[in-house]
Amino acid sequence: MTERIVVVGAALLDGDRLLAARRSAPPELAGRWELPGGKVEPGERPEEALVRELGEELGVAAEAVARVPGEWPLKSPYVLHVWVARLRPGSPAPEPLQDHDALRWLGPGEIWDVDWLDQDVPAVRETIARLGANAR
């Protein structure tokens, strides 16, 4: 059995708004939206990976708040774990620096206005359910 590799996704919040990032690569994912994040490196805690990935991809200083319960399969051997995160005081605004060409803050009534990656949909559903957002 292949060992799972954890990918952390950030439910980055600004009040009641959730940040979505539009993929620019690879070609088969380009144009679709996701929760930003990336792979947990060997010896790295998931919370550390989340902070590092948000810095690399968005140029922000963030902190992990709490893990959203659940695990969602990606392309084997990867699995997605989602963490609620927030910007640290004084952090610059997020910018699409790596793997993304656009960012969008989505209010509770806008969550489904973007074309989420198929594998992110159940994670987004669980996240908004946990946050109590009315995003139907």
d(CA 130, CA 73): 19
Task: Give the tokens for residue 19.
Answer: 């940040």
Q: What is the pLDDT of residues 92-131, one digit of tens each?
A: 999 999 899 999 999 999 999 999 999 999 999 999 998 7
The predicted structure's pLDDT at residue 85: 97
Q: What is the pLDDT of residues 48-102, one digit of tens each?
A: 999 999 999 999 999 999 999 999 999 999 999 999 999 999 999 999 998 999 9
Q: What is the pLDDT of residues 21-34, one digit of tens each?
A: 999 989 999 999 99
Closest CA to 35 of 63, 61, 71, 7: 7
For the chain, which domains are there?
Answer: 5-131 (3.90.79.10)
Is pLDDT of 1 > 70?
A: no
Is pLDDT of 132 > 80?
A: no
Residue with tokens 């930003």: 36
34 Cβ contact partners less than 8 Å away, ≥ 6 residues apart: 9, 20, 21, 23, 116, 117, 120
pTM of the predicted protein model: 0.91
% of the chain beyond a pLDDT of 70: 96
Tally: H helices and E strands in the chain: 2, 7
d(CA 100, CA 96): 5
Neighbours of 87 (CB within 10 A): 19
